[in-house]
Amino acid sequence: MVSIGKLIKEARKKQNMTQELLAIGICNRSYISQIEKGLVVPSRDVLEKLYNRLNIIEINYEEKINEIVECIDEGDFQKAITYITDIEGVHLSPHLHALRFWAKGEVEKFLHKYTDKAISYYKDDLDLESVDVSTKTRILLSIADSKLFSRELHLAEKYLNEVFKIIKSQNVSGYLKVQLFTLLAILDAKKGDYKTALSYYRQAEQLNRDYSTSYLMDIIYNGIGTIFSLQKQYEEAEYYLMEAIRFGETRKNRDDASIARRYCNLGIVFRLNGKYNCSIEALNSAIKIINSINNKPDIFNSKVELAKTYKCMGRYLETKQLCYEVIEHCPHSETLADAWYIIAEIHKENHDLETAIIYFEKALKLLENWGEYSPFLPRMYKQLGDLYNQVGRYSEAALMYEKGLNLMKPLGL
C-alpha cells in the first residue's frame, strides 16, 4: 500500500511541481517535506487541499487510519470507535496495523482506564518491525503514559528519553511534541522536581500557542495549578485550576471524572487560601458531577475534603456527619484513614486526648496495612507520638518517633 507521503511526492513530481508551489495557501514548504518523509500526519483539511491541487482521487486505508488518529488527538473517541470498526479485519501494511493497534489501546484507555488490555495493544505494536517515526513515537508515548500511571517512573523516564531523542533528531512537531513535554512535566512532578516540571508545562503551553491549538491544555493547566498549590502560591493555583476546568468542559469528549477531580483540587486550594465558601461551592460541584457518573472512589475523597473545609469553619457536626458517612461506605484505606484522622483532630482540639488517640490509632492501622507508602504516615507517627507524650505513655511515644524516623531515612528526609 502506498503511503500518503509517497503518494503526494509522486503526484507532485509527475506535475513538475515544487514543494513551495504545492504549499501555497495550504501550509509551508517544510510541512510538505515532513509529510512526504512520513514524519507528520496531516489533518484531513490539509490532506483534502493537497489532494485537490494534485488531482489525487484515490482514497486509501492510510487516510482512514489518519482520520482515526486525528479523532483521538482531538479527543473525539466516539467517532474514532466508529472508524476503527469500519476497518476491522482489513489487512494493512505493518505501520498502519501498528497505528490501528495503538488506536485500540487509546480507546480502551479512554473507556476503561489503564487496563492490561489497553497496555497489551501497545506491546503488540512494538513487536512489529516496520513502523514509521510518527507511529513509533505515539506508541512509546502511550507506554510511557501507562508507566506513569502505574508509578514505574524509571521505565516512564526511559521511554520518554527515547521519544525526546526521536523528536529532536527527526524534527517531529505538533501534538506529539506537546504530549512529550506534558508527560515529562508529569514525570518530574512525581519525582518532586517542580521547577523542571513547570518548565516542561510552560513549553507545552507555548507550543499550543505557536500551533493555535489547545492539545492537552486541561491537563497542562491542572499540572501548573497543582505545582503552584504545592508552592503555596494559591492565587496562581486558583487561576490555572479554573482554566483547566474551562478547557476540560469545552473538550469534544469531556471527561467528567477528570473535571470533578479538578473541582475537588480547586476546592482544596480555596480552603488553603482561606476562601471557605468558595471551597464548599467547588467541592459540591465535584460531588454533583461524581454522583451523575457514579464514581464512588472519587465521591468519598471529595466528601472528606468537604469535611476538612467544614472543620476549618468550626462546623464540627457537619464534619463528623461526612466523615462517618465515608467510614461506613468507603472501602479505600487511605480515604478511610483521612476520615478517622479528621475526627481525631476534632477530639484533640476539644482536649479529649484519650479519644483522639483511639481515632489516630485507627487511622494509623489503616495506613500501615494499606500496602503502599503514604506521605501521610510520618506526620501520623509524629502526631500520635506527641499525644502519647501528653498522656504519659512515653515508651509508646518513643516507638512512634522511631518509626517516623525510620520511614523518613530512605527518603533522605
pLDDT confidence of residue 1: 42
Please report the DSSP string for 119-154 in residue order.
Answer: HHHHHHHHT-S---HHHHHHHHHHHHHHHHHTT-HH
pLDDT confidence of residue 125: 53
What would the pLDDT profile of 296-324 be if each residue is shown by its tens digit? 778 999 999 999 999 999 999 999 999 99
The domain limits of the chain are 1-59, 332-413
User: Angle formed by the axes of helices 77-86 and 61-73, to 10°?
Assistant: 160
Work out the number of other CB atoms within 10 angstroms of the CB of residue 42. 23
CA distance 42 to 3: 12
Residues of the chain with pLDDT under 50: 1, 58-59, 128, 411-413
pLDDT confidence of residue 391: 95
Residue with cell 489533518: 43
pLDDT confidence of residue 127: 55
Does domain 332-413 bear CATH number 1.25.40.10? Answer: yes
CATH superfamily placement of domain 1-59 = lambda repressor-like DNA-binding domains (1.10.260.40)
Q: How many angstroms separate the first and last alpha carbons of the chain?
A: 58
Please tell me if the domain spanning 1-59 has the same topology as the one spanning 332-413.
Answer: no
Work out the number of other CB atoms within 10 angstroms of the CB of residue 320. 17
Contact 264, 298 (CB under 8 A): yes
pLDDT confidence of residue 134: 83
pLDDT confidence of residue 372: 61
pLDDT confidence of residue 52: 87
Contact 140, 162 (CB under 8 A): yes
CA distance 336 to 357: 16
Ramachandran region, residue 393 (left: φ > 0; alpha: ψ -120 to 50; beta: rest): beta
User: Angle formed by the axes of helices 316-329 and 333-349, to 10°?
Assistant: 150
Contact 305, 322 (CB under 8 A): no
Which grid cell sits at 223?
Answer: 499540572
CA distance 298 to 304: 10
Closest CA to 168 of 133, 125, 220: 133
